[in-house]
Structure 1
């Protein structure tokens, strides 16, 4: 391999790395939302998988049925995390497509 080719390859790798970092930062700033129970429970998270808001409608708060409320919160939370994972795989997968790099994203 000639030195010029290696230099070009390194420049391309650096360019791709900058694009990956920008895409990752953009993902981290995104907001994801999921509801359960017909909107009775809503969970909002950012792309870092940090829960930023939980909204619970008063109608769903029943002291005699706490398990239902817990289930709704779990459902909404798990769904919002899946949305983040799916978006991350979709966005970051473009950088690893065709590469055999186990453990990447």
Structure 2
């Protein structure tokens, strides 16, 4: 019976270590800056790993008062690119914690 308790304590310690590592990796990911680019870098956006936009740069030639739709499309393209980059890195960084775990 005591042998089972030792295994349980070991498992609890292992889970606590895993949780601490997970939190550390998530904090690092949140600090990481991700860029998204529209074609020809007409619009470039920057996001943190926790999905907050920190910057947007729009080339002057992308601003056409007669074609606001094009600028909107460029912004959407840049944001979607940044989100794809962020999600890819999130999977690389955090995915290791859910592999081989039942229910994930």
TM-score (norm. length: structure 1): 0.92
Structure with more of its chain in helix, by fraction: 2
Which of residues 86, 95, 98 is equivalent to 2:97? 95
Matched position secondary structure for 2:40: coil
Match of 1:77 in 2: 79
Gaps of 5+ in 2: none
In 2, the alpha carbon distance for the partners of 1:101 and 1:82 equals 25
Residues 1-105 of structure 1 mapped to structure 2, 5 A cutoff: 2-102=4-104
In 2, the alpha carbon distance for the partners of 1:100 and 1:74 equals 37
For each residue in 1:3-59, what CA deviation from the matched residue of structure 2 results, as whole angstroms up to 9, or x when unmatched? 000000000000000000000000000000011120110010000010100000111
Gaps of 5+ in 1: none
Which aligned segments of 4 or more residues in structure 1 are displaced greater than 4 angstroms? none
TM-score (norm. length: structure 2): 0.93
Asked which structure has the greater RCO (Cα within 8 Å, sep 6+), the reply is 2
> What's the Cα RMSD here?
1.1
